[in-house]
Structures are given as C-alpha cells and as structure tokens.
Homo-oligomer: A and B are copies of this chain.
Amino acid sequence: MKKIINNPENYVKEMLEGIYIAHPDLVTYTADDVHCLIAAKKVEGKVGIATGGGSGHLPLFLGYVGEGMLDACSVGDVFQSPSAEQMHAVTKAIDSGAGVLYIYGNYNGDIFNFDMAAEMADFEDDIKVLSVVAGDDVASAGPSAPGEKSTRRGVAGIFFVYKCAGSAAANMMSLDEVKRVAEKASANVRTMGVALTPCIVPRVGKPGFSIADNEMEIGMGIHGETGIRHGKLESADQITDEMLEKIISDVPYTAGDEVDVLINGLGATTLDEQYIVTRRVSKNLADKGIKVHHFYVGEYATSLEMAGMSISMLKLDDELKALMEKPANTPFFKQI
C-alpha cells in the first residue's frame, strides 16, 4: 500500500485536522468532534443545508461546505456513514430558524442515519428538517416498480444538486423552495463512471477487487460496486461515446437542451486525460444538438487513488442556469 499516511486508524482524524488548519476562514467543527464540520460563517435566517457521507471521496462531501453552497457535513470513516448523533449535532449548529435541508447520496447507511437525525432534530430541538436523497448514477438504476425505492446511487453529479440548492438558500428562498430546487436538479442530473484500477482502503491495506492490466469496468461505483460492463480498455473517444449514450438516453437529454457538464477524475487519472474526454464530449453533444452551457473539469468526487473518470450532465432551465452561475467560495470550489 503506497500511501503517505501514519497509523491507518488515525487516517480520517488527521485528514480532518489538516483541513481545519488549512481553511480556518471557511470551515470549523461543532460538538468537540472533528467529524462534525460546519461553515465558519452562519447566515441568519438562511435555510441550512447539511450533507454527510464516508471519507475517501475528497473533495466530496465536506469540500463543498462554505459560502454559497453547503453549511455542514458530518464525516464518516473511509466509505462508512457518519452516525445519526453527528448528523444531529451539525443540524443544531446550522439551524437559524429557517429549517435545514439534508442532501445526501442514496446509500442505505446514510438514509438510516439521516432519517434518525431528522427525527431527533424535530423531537428534541423543534427544527424542521426535509431531505433530498440524490441518485444520479445511470449504471445502478435498476428497474423499480412505481413507488418502490430507487437503487440509483449518488455519485459525482450530486455536486450539481449542492450548487443549485446552495445558491437557492443563499438567495434566501424558503425550506420548501430550496427542497424543490434540489429535487429538480437531482431529477435532471445523470452520471456514468469508468474505473481502470482499484483503490485501497487504508485500514484494509489491500485492494478489495482487481481489474486486469488491459481492462476497464464501465459503470463501477465509487466504492468499487460492480459496474455494467467489464472489458478491454478502449480509446478515450470510444469510452466517452459509450458513456454518453447511456447518460443521454436515461433522462433523456434531447436536441435543443442546454446542459452543464462535469468531467470528474476519480483519483489517479490525470487532468490531461480529463481534457481529452472534454474534447470528445463537446464534439459528441454538438453533433446531437445539445448545447453545453459550462464545463467543470477536475477532481470533484474521488475514490481514493482509483484511476478512472466519470461524466455528469445537468439539464438546465432558466432557474437552474442562474443558480449554477452564482458565485461560491468553499475550500474546494471557487466560482467568481
């Protein structure tokens, strides 16, 4: 395991301590627990937005707490949900009377704990909490009967949900309105990923799965969940086209649509490669009459040091476009 770390037991705690040292102007923590990260500044009367999830995905999740985006993130161990108590602690810290919206990815541990935290905040503190469970992954969207819970996982596209909801809250919209915006963004974002190598959870010390030297896995999840196709490594253009086809037919996105696009590196894949993919996405979408409003390129949601990338698309209307364009200032995302 080639990592620059100390005792793996202290991995998350030491990482968090580094975050607070590097970004004291933007983030701090509450309840004497470094896992309970909150924005350094509280805006009175604003709806609070909290997220949470396992570590190992930086800048997801905690990196989007700051001005114009999220107000809190409870942080779990690597690939593990934080506890309901930690979620409850940040909820109390960020509420200023306008209520709190939870936005988090569709994973069972997170759902269970966030639901419990919402009940605690309601019963113990009389804080109104609403939730949006984001699921943007195309690969895991199995068939589900009407009314049945979706199996669609939350991956990099949650960035778009955070940004739209964060801007809505910064515009002082009500809790119901911020929830409506988050749900609209979530319904219009889709993501596909491809993995080239596994990653190593520090406490485990070895990869949980393997991908052969000349192979890739299309649709793999950000914790190494099985994808939809395992095969020979293809060219950037071929991979991009296959992923786009699956994304586009899902929402669906059609000629005349305007979209924001996120090209996301999973860890070890270079920015050069991400821009080579950007070039192909641009050509492919232009051929289909889909207009790109803005490209976001870089590491937005990683799987430790996994090699691979994902493509996310958000279908825009006038409201979402204006919310996406609003400035933001977080440790990891700055928009001027």
Q: Which A residues are closer than 8 A to B by beta carbons?
A: 2-6, 11-12, 14-19, 21-23, 55-56, 58-59, 194, 196-197, 213, 233, 235-237, 239, 267-279, 282, 295, 297, 299, 302, 304-305, 307-309, 327, 329, 334-336
Whether B237 lies near A56 (C-beta < 8 A) is no
**In the complex, A196 Cα to B55 Cα: how many Å?**
23
**In whole angstroms, what is the CA distance A5 to B18 when docked?**
34
Known: A17-B279, A22-B275. 4 other contacts (CB 8 A): A4-B236, A4-B277, A267-B270, A270-B302
For A4, the chain B residues whose CB sits under 8 A away are: 194, 196, 236, 239, 269, 273, 276-277, 308-309
Cα of A6 to Cα of B276 in the assembled complex, Å: 8
**Cβ A5 vs Cβ B276 within 8 A:** yes
**A6 to B236 alpha-carbon distance, docked (Å):** 5
Find the B residue at minimum CB distance from A335.
B334
Complex Cα distance, B3 from A314, in Å, reads: 26
Contact of A295 among B14, B21, B278, B297 (CB under 8 A): B21
Q: B279 and A14: CB pair below 8 A? A: yes
Closest to A59 in B: B271
**Chain B: CB-nearest residue to A303:** B270
Q: Is the CB of A213 within 8 A of B2?
A: yes
CB of A269 within 8 A of CB of B305, answer yes
Q: How far is the CA of A327 from the CA of B274 in the complex (A)?
A: 26
Q: Bound state CA distance, A197 and B4, in angstroms?
A: 12
Copies in the complex: 2
Give the contacting residue for A22; candidates B3, B237, B278, B334; CB below 8 A. B278
CA distance A327 to B194 in the complex (A): 36
A336: B residues at CB distance < 8 A: 327, 329, 334, 336
> Known: A236-B6, A239-B4, A334-B334. Is A297-B22 also a contact (CB below 8 A)?
yes
Q: State the CA gap A131–B206 with chains docked (Å).
A: 48
Known contacts being A269-B305, A295-B21, A336-B334, is A276 close to B15, with CB within 8 Å?
A: yes
- B267–A11 touching, CB < 8 Å: no
A9 to B136, CA, bound (A): 35
Given contacts A14-B276, A270-B267, A276-B11, contact A6 B237 (CB under 8 A): yes
Q: Which 10 A-B pairs have the closest CB atoms?
A: A18-B275, A18-B278, A268-B268, A18-B279, A22-B295, A58-B271, A334-B334, A2-B196, A15-B272, A4-B273
Residues of B within 8 A of A282 (CB): 18, 21
Most B C-beta atoms less than 10 A away, residue of A14, A15, A22, A329: A22
Name the distance in Å between A217's Cβ and chain B's nearest Cβ: 12
Query: A11–B22 Cα gap in the complex (Å)?
Result: 35
A78 to chain B, nearest CB (A): 8
User: Given A305-B307, A336-B334, do A277 and B6 touch, yes or no (CB 8 Å)?
Assistant: no
